[in-house]
Chains A and B, each alone.
Chain A
C-alpha cells in the first residue's frame, strides 16, 4: 500500500460512461488492481442465453484500462492511455451468470504498456475469455 493507492470508489469514478451503460462495477481489488464485473441481462446477450463476444471484449478492455489507471495512480504519476490493439480469445460460452474480469499488467514502461485481461464466471479458475492489449502512454510531467 502507498499513500496513492486508489480505493474502489475512486476507481469507479474513473470508469467511462460506456462502462456504466454496460452495468459494470468494481467488485473488489486484487493486489490493488480492480476486479470489474457486470450481471447477465439483455444488454450483454448475444445468441439467446449466452454473453455477446463484443460485450465480453468490452469488459476485458475496461478491466485493462482500469488496472493501468490504478497502477499509474499508485505510482503517483499521470498519463493518457491510447489503445493500440487488442486480441481476444474466447474459450467458453458465457452463461447467464455474473461475469468478472481482471487486468494484469505485464509491463508498464515509459511509452508502452502491455496488459493481459482474463474473464470468468462462477469458477475463478475457469477462464471464459482472455485478451492481450497494448497501449501507448502519453505521460504528463
Chain B
C-alpha cells in the first residue's frame, strides 16, 4: 500500500482499497488528508449510523471506529511503511454530541513509536478542530516483535 513514486505508505490508497471491503466501508469511512505522523479521515452522516432516532445524532460507535483507523494509519505515515499491529487500548472522551447531519472528521496522530508499542492521540470534530466532539488516546502493539 505504498505510493508508486516515493515508496512511502499511502493512507488514501489503503483506505480506498483494503479498508473499504470491511467495517470501514460498511460505515462509509473516507480518506480526507494526511501528513507525516498524522491522518485525517471523514465520516459522512448517514441515517443508519444514528444512535438516537429522536435527535438524529450519530452513535459514538462509528466515531470510535474512525479514530481507531485514523490513529492506526498515523503510525504507518510516521514510520513511512506498513507494519502489522493491533489496538491494545483506546480511550475516547466525548466533549459533546456531533451536530445532526454533519460530517465528522477524525484526525489521528502518532506521537511516539517504540519497538513494541506505538502511542497515539487524536480528535474528532464536525468542522472546527478547535471545538472537538471527542478526544482520544491509545496504543497499538507491533505484531512483528515475537514474544520472548
Contacts and interface: CB of A to CB of B under 8 A. Distances in A.
Nearest to A45: B22
Interface of A: 16-22, 42-47, 52-55, 57-58, 61-62, 82-90, 93
A16 B46 CA distance: 13
Nearest to B84: A47
Q: In which size bucket is the chain B interface?
A: 35 or more
Interface of B: 21-27, 47-53, 58-62, 64-69, 84, 86-94, 97
Contacts of A21: 26-27, 48-49
A45 B68 contact: no
B64 A45 contact: no
B86 A53 contact: yes
21 contacts: A16-B50, A18-B49, A18-B61, A21-B48, A42-B23, A42-B25, A44-B26, A45-B23, A52-B23, A54-B64, A54-B66, A54-B69, A57-B61, A57-B64, A57-B90, A58-B62, A58-B64, A61-B61, A61-B64, A85-B91, A85-B94
A42 B64 contact: no
Contact of B68 (A42, A53, A82, A93): A53
Given A85-B92, A89-B89, A17 B66 contact: no
A17 B89 contact: no
A89 B92 CA distance: 12
